[in-house]
Amino acid sequence: MPIPTLAEKLQWLKPAPATAHETECAAKVLQGDYEIGVQITNDILDEAMEVFVRSSRSYFGVSGDSMVAIFTANGDLINASCGTYLHAIIQPIIIKFIHKYYTENPGIRDGDIWYTNDALYGGIHNPDQVALMPIFHKGKLLAWSSAALHTTETGAIEPGGMPVSAKSRFEEGLNLPPIKIGENFEIRNDFLEMYSVYGMRAPAMFISDLRARCTTADRVRVRLLELADKRGPDFVVGLLRKMSDTAEAAARRIVRDLPDGKFRTVVFNDAIGMTPALVRSCYLTLTKKDGGIIFDFHGTSPENPSSYNVHPQAVVGHIANFMYEYMFHDLPICSSTFAMLDFVFPEGSIVYPDKMAATSCCVYIGMQARCATQNSFAKMIFSNAALWGQVAASPGSQHTSQICAGLSQWKLAVSDVLSFALNTMGQGGRAASDGMDAYGFAWCAFGRAPDSEQVESELPVTVTLSQHWKDSSGPGLHRGGSGGVQHWMVHKVPHLVSMCMGNGSKVPLGQPLFGGYASSPIPGISIRKADLLQQMSEGNPQLTLDNREVLGQKTIHGDWNFEFVARTPKMYDEGDLLFGFSGGGPGYGDPLERPPEEVLEDLRKQIISDWTAQNIYKLAYEPERRKLDVEKTKQLRDEERRARLARGKSFEEFHKEWNKKKPPEEILQWYGSWPDGKPLGPIVRS
Amino acid sequence: MSSETPNRIRITEYLDLDIDREQWMCNRCNHVLGSARENYKKGCLLHDRDPREVHPALVAATFNFSPDPSWVRIVECYCPRCATQIETEYLPPGHPITHDIEIDIDRLKERLRKGQFIIRGQRLEAVE
């Protein structure tokens, strides 16, 4: 079975050298024609992205958690429209695999539709599925197109596509290596039937998303052929080559101008599946030397028998999210921009697990690699005159990924995510400003929170509140952006099955930057037998729909549950309430340097509480009128600085006590050896 | 704030590199934090902070919006002179402090000498 090796995958990430024909064609693309050609590819991709969002059925699709792309004939990525950068860079692995193994049998022909969702063959995790089409012009392969989207169902042992209790890939439902699912521009009926049985929990969503991918990839194909007909195929070949070369030159210039050295970040995760456990989810050493950067993950904890492992190329996908949001934000999404980046993954680690490992919840580990990357880059680029403004703490990434499954109020089978809590995370504090409140999804910079009324009309829930979550952001000179909170009441159906994926209930995720603080952990909260519906129908004038008051005063009565955020499927009854949180961004800089007026503004906007203003920012003010006492604030801050000097210890003194400490043994079962995270024994998967 | 000096480069919000003397310095008060070939944290004051002091519990429950102090601590690094919080790191108790920044001093000096970089406004500008 030709599962690609890590060496093959890493090699396939690199752009192929130009052929003589490509070089010849590129030389003929004149200035002016080139710029117009680039814009045409942008327009093709943006049009296709619009088709994609409008054709998708799942809330990931509606939110735009997707990517449409154009590749060269040999499979190098040239440009894309997002959505999410998660799929950028790594999809060439799939096309190059098809070229290597399937050119003769079953063959690559005009009208083919290829499909895959298996992370062993180059994907992220199996909810992320991609349709690819070769683009033939007059019988000759000219390029490829693709459309990738996360669908919230895979026929796994739990609804929602990301089973938190899966122990091996065999419990994760559909895992398709690259396969030809259509010929002559038609999806094969036998494949559709096979595919649909994996989507029984939500057939309308499952099949609609499949068709959306295919029709989107085909739209790109049709438009690129129009360009080839108009300007000739050699123009398209030359344009794609020139775009690759131009993007590579720009990326190399950015990397070249960074200082050489080593930059390290360590981050931790508090879960493997639904089991609370401490793991060193990423120990990253970035080595910048001359014109290249090596990402070395030695020191990361070993793989574990849960779905919280991540295959290496999916780590690269997560890193692409950071690179294109901050470092390469003005470059096309193109394979060649990663030509100078190399990756070292220790075999048997949580970022390079065995082929039988479950990885459907890989995003919780992959995101930690992105956070470590962002933190390390901050320390590498702050000295750079052109780039320091791109420095930011990593985004908030803890969230309630709540799945609704069962029959909707329309008696339709559903299995989808309540994605508000995904797409309203806070951005990390930035070098020159605060992080943006509810900026988006850490995995998908351009994800949009869905319209609540649309959610209510399609899923059996009523959204009873949507607001910023007070004190969710990490404090700092530049605070992190606020996260969001929604409450979901089961409504119009007698029962609903719900589960939740996630992490970050015990340990804040990511690291803050330059003296800031991280954002708060999140629990999993539900109220069974809640009396909210009753209070609303009785018109209770005391009823509050402020999240903090509901939490603090328990104004909604019922059986409250505070659990770990990752939860296996449970039945909830009509009127039961679920809480959904998106994490705030970590803070940047010393909170004592935050201008007092900005702290007051945070209070006015209800982004922070009085407790935070007084105890973290050391702000003195009159609480009723929120009138600032400048002198007293200065005095309080000076006192805190003196307190720091009194309690701070020298490096040597600190370590006399620190080195005696260790977390409890019971949470270190899957950490590896303490503290260096080396494997302690084999993982047995049945 | 530190004064403009030609041989100082800002490496973080609070950490400057004096490239001539190969020293870490506090950006806010100019205190020398030690050799730039060593971890700058060796020149800081460190404090093991209970995370509940920064992220207090919002509800009375095991999972309560507050980090578990037996799982994670906040290591705060202060400038010994002005007490600026130069860096924070969320680490399990007893976990080694990260040597997060190791600038290749010799290479940087070489690139400055060759004119590939100039220092302007305490930042590195690449020269084409």
Q: What is the pLDDT of residues A190-209, one digit of tens each?
A: 999 999 999 999 998 999 99
Mean pLDDT on A124-136: 97
Instruction: For residue A272, give how far its alpha carbon lies from the nearest alpha carbon of chain B (Å).
Output: 15
The model's pLDDT over A381-436, given as tens digits with 9 standing for 90+, comes to 999 999 999 999 999 999 999 999 999 999 999 999 998 888 899 999 999 999 99
CB pair distance less than 8 Å for B123 and A384: yes
Residues 6 or more apart whose CB falls under 8 angstroms from that of A306 comprise A164, A166, A167, A272, A273, A275, A358, A361, A670
Question: What's the pLDDT at A421?
Answer: 82
DSSP secondary structure letter of residue A506: S
For A158, counting Cβ atoms within 10 Å of its Cβ (0-12 exposed, 13-18 middle, 19+ buried), the class is buried
Q: Are strands A292-296 and A341-344 parallel, antiparallel or unpaired?
A: parallel
| Alpha-carbon dihedral angle through residues A548, A394, A296, A177, given to the nearest 10 degrees | 70
Cβ-defined contact of A642 to B83 (cutoff 8 Å): yes
- Chain A residues whose beta carbon lies within 8 Å of the beta carbon of residue B56: 611
At residue A604 the predicted structure's pLDDT band, cuts being 50, 70 and 90, is very high
ipTM: 0.97
Nearest residue of A to residue B73, measured between CA atoms: A507
Which of A542, A562, A591 is where one domain is finished?
Answer: A591
pLDDT of residue A274: 86
Nearest by CB to B10, which of A382, A518, A552? A382
- What pLDDT is attached to residue B2? 46
Of B14, B72, B120, which is closest to A514 when you measure between CB atoms?
B14
Categorize the per-residue pLDDT at B68 as very low, low, confident or very high, splitting at 50, 70 and 90: very high
Sheet containing A524-528: order of strands: A461-468, A484-490, A577-581, A524-528, A559-563
Contact A644 B88 (CB under 8 A): no
How much is the pLDDT for A419? Answer: 85
Q: Which residue of B has its CA nearest to A650?
A: B45
Distance in angstroms (rounded) separating the CA atoms of residues A498 and A525: 12
Question: Which percentage of chain A shows pLDDT scores above 90?
Answer: 94
Share the mean pLDDT of chain A. 96
> What is the chain A residue with the closest CA to B90?
A511
Residues of A in contact with B120 (CB under 8 A): 385
Which residue of chain A has the CA closest to B74? A517
> Quick check: B45 and A552 CB within 8 A?
no
Q: How many angstroms separate the CA atoms of A588 and A568, rounded?
A: 35
Task: Write the residue in A260, A477, A645 that is nearest to B107 by C-beta.
Answer: A260
Q: What is the 3-state secondary structure (H, E, C) of chain B?
A: CCCCCCCEEECCCCEEEECCCCEEEECCCCCEEEECCCCHHHHCEEEEECHHHCCCCCCCCCCCCCCCCCCCEEEEEECCCCCCEEEEEEECCCCCCCCCEEECHHHHHHHHHCCCEEEECCEEEECC
Q: Please compute the mean of the pLDDT values over residues B7-13 and round it to a whole number.
A: 97
Report CB contact under 8 Å: A590, B85: yes
Cross-chain Cβ contact A520/B55 below 8 Å: yes
B90/A518 touch (CB, cutoff 8 Å), yes or no: yes
Domain boundary among the residues A563, A591, A619 is at: A591
Q: Tell me whether residue A179 is exposed, middle or buried, using C-beta atoms within 10 angstroms of its C-beta: 0 to 12, 13 to 18, 19 or more.
A: middle
The residue of A514, A555, A563, A656 whose CB has the most chain B CBs within 10 angstroms, and thus the best one to mutate to test that interface, is: A514
Structure tokens, A447: 């994800």
Is A66:A53 a contact under the CB 8 Å cutoff? yes
Mean pLDDT for the stretch of residues A505-518: 96
3-class SS letters over A34-94: HHHHHHHHHHHHHHHHHHHHHHCCCHHHHHCCEEEEEEECCCCEEEEEECCCCCCCCCHHH
Shortest Cα distance, chain A CAs vs residue B115, angstroms: 12
Spell out which residues of chain B touch residue A523, defining contact as CB-CB under 8 Å: 59, 61, 63-65
The residue segments making up the domain with residue A111 are: 6-14+31-254
Contact call for A593 and B84, based on CB within 8 A: yes
- Sheet order of strands, B15-18 included: B8-10, B15-18, B23-26, B32-35
A644 contacts B72? CB cut-off 8 A: no
- Residue-wise pLDDT for A152-189, tens only, equals 999 999 999 999 999 999 999 999 999 999 999 999 99
List CB contacts (< 8 A) between B103 and chain A.
259-261
Mean predicted confidence (pLDDT) in A72-81: 97
By Cβ distance, the residue of B41, B71, B84 closest to A506 is B71
Model confidence at A368: pLDDT above 90:
yes
| Residue of B88, B111, B118 to mutate, testing the A interface (most A Cβ within 10 Å of its Cβ) | B88
Of residues A219 and A449, which shows the higher confidence score? A219
Q: Verify whether the Cβ–Cβ distance A512 to B48 is below 8 Å.
A: no
Q: Could you read off the pLDDT of A527-539 as tens digits, one per residue?
A: 999 999 999 999 9
Q: How far is CA A510 from CA A50, A289, A521, B14, in A?
A: 33, 26, 11, 20
Whether residue A224 has pLDDT greater than 90: yes
Under 8 Å CB pairs connecting chains A and B tally to: 220
pLDDT of residue B4: 55
| Alpha carbon distance A536, A491 (integer Å) | 13
Q: Identify whether A372 is part of a domain.
A: no
- State the pLDDT at residue A504: 95
Query: Chain B residues with CB inside 8 Å of A517's CB?
Result: 54-55, 74, 88
In angstroms and rounded to an integer, the radius of gyration of the C-alpha atoms of chain A is 25
Statement: residue B22 has pLDDT above 50: yes
Minimum distance, in Å, between the CA of residue A462 and any CA atom of chain B? 25
Q: Of A361, A311, A313, which is closest to residue A171 (Cα–Cα)?
A: A361
A608 has pLDDT over 70: yes
Q: What separation in angstroms does the CA of A266 have from each of A161, A346, A413, B34, B51?
A: 29, 16, 42, 23, 18
Q: Note whether A382 contacts B12, CB cutoff 8 Å.
A: yes
Answer whether residue A628 is part of any domain: no
Q: Evaluate if residue B36 carries a pLDDT over 70.
A: yes
In the block, tokens 């309560």 appear at: B64
Task: Report the gap between the CA of A91 and the closest CA in chain B (Å).
Answer: 32
Residue at A212: amino acid letter? A
**What is the mean predicted confidence (pLDDT) over A31-51?**
97
Q: Does the distance separating the beta carbons of A522 and B65 come in below 8 Å?
A: yes
Distance in angstroms (rounded) separating the CA atoms of residues B13 and B17: 12
How close, in Å, is residue A569 to chain B by CA atoms?
19
Above 70 in pLDDT, residue B121?
Answer: yes
Instruction: Write down the pLDDT at residue B1.
Output: 42
Number of domains in chain A: 2
Let me know if residue A227 belongs to a domain.
Answer: yes
Least confident piece of the model among A12-16, A86-90, A152-156:
A86-90
- Residues in B closer than 8 angstroms to A648, CB to CB, are 44-47, 76, 78, 80, 83
Q: What pTM value is reported for the model?
A: 0.97
pLDDT, mean of residues A669-673: 97
Q: In A, which residues are within 8 Å of B71 by CB distance?
A: 270, 278, 506-507, 663, 667
Q: Is a pLDDT exceeding 80 seen at residue A69?
A: yes
- Euclidean distance between CA atoms A674 and A658, whole angstroms: 14
pLDDT value for A1: 57
Q: Residue A562 and residue B64: Cβ atoms within 8 Å?
A: yes
Q: Which residues of B touch A289 (CB under 8 A)?
A: 104
The shortest CB-CB distance from A523 to any of B46, B64, B90 is to: B64
Query: Biggest alpha carbon distance in chain A?
Result: 79
Give yes or no for residue B62 having a pLDDT over 70. yes
Among chain B residues, the shortest Cα distance to A581 is held by B65
Strands (E) in A557-684, as ranges, are 559-563, 567-573, 577-581, 621-622, 627-628
